Amino acid sequence: MAPGKVIVFGGTGFLGQRVVQRLLERDLSVRVAVRHPERIAALFPALHLDAIQADVNDDRSVAAAVAGVEGVVNAVSLYAETGSQTFHSVHVEAATRVARLAREAGVGRFIHVSGIGADAGSGSPYICSRGKGENAVREAFSAATLIRPSVMFGRGDAFLIPIARMLRRLPVFPLFGRGQTQLQPAYVEDVADAIARVMQNAQSPMCYELGGPRVYAYRSLLEMIARHLGKKPRLLPIPFGLWHALASVAEMLPEPPIMRNQVELMQLDNVASSGAPGFGDLRISSTSLEDALPTIVGLSGGPSRVPPVP
């Protein structure tokens, strides 16, 4: 087994790319499991990575990918169902496959990325699949560590940048409900750092909930971002029932601007549980949204969409 070798599934994604970089900074050898290995050079031009073709829906390719590694990070996620790619197939079936084959290969450390609020009993297909995925992973690999980040922000995100675009352009901004949903945004770079630290700590707790240093009501968060942009839009409350109806129609479009799972997520507070291990237990001083805001929103551009909450 290669000393210190870790494989990252989902290593080309928003979080996965950062995880790869943080693992390398800790002098670990990294393998990236991707469907298209030839794209790795463009994503990591200055790095020489071990890229392997793997499909999380296929036993044989996953088994080959996890062979000879000490650690596995599963950062694969899905925010919109398309064809055979469903929340259940990705968050439950694929996650179980990776965990089971990792255990059979003798992998020592397994990290599964989920999300705050994952609940196998939820009526939301997305939230339910996250919860069932956690349970299935634990059954397949009993020593797995769960990482549950809050909604993440960072360069190239799908949360803060769309909000900034719309606040810049719209005199009226539609709120989810009355805008009272509680959010604890986490900086994606901090989440990646946390995952790298957990990978090297054999005594880590079984689950971390990673929320940033401040909790916002959704309305307050929008007001703070608007002030930074020098804007004063009217914040218009929209009932969740209407959002669900709009999302149902929007999902018929090729690129829906809003999806039902986003509405379902915004009906629930996204805050770390009191007493749950988090950034502080990993000696990470988490970055506030205010500190990162000037750099991130300066990169925004492109078409406006209702901001998703991953």
pLDDT, tens digit (0-9, with 9 covering 90-100), for 36-82: 877 787 778 777 788 899 999 999 999 999 999 999 999 999 988 88
Q: Express each pLDDT in 172-227 by its tens digit.
A: 999 999 999 999 999 999 999 999 999 998 788 899 999 999 999 999 999 999 99
Backbone angles phi, psi at 247, to 5 degrees: -65, -40
Residue 141 near residue 99 (C-beta atoms within 8 A): yes
Per-residue pLDDT tens over the stretch 258-276:
888 889 999 999 999 999 9
Using a 10 angstrom Cβ sphere, with 0-12 exposed, 13-18 middle and 19 or more buried, the burial of residue 19 is: buried
Domain spanning 5-149: which superfamily?
A: NAD(P)-binding Rossmann-like Domain (3.40.50.720)
Architecture of domain 155-185+212-270+285-310: Alpha-Beta Complex (3.90)
Q: Which residues pair with 80 in a beta bridge?
A: none
Dihedral sign from CA coordinates of 136, 140, 145, 151: negative
This prediction's pTM: 0.92
CATH 3.40.50.720 placement within the chain? 5-149
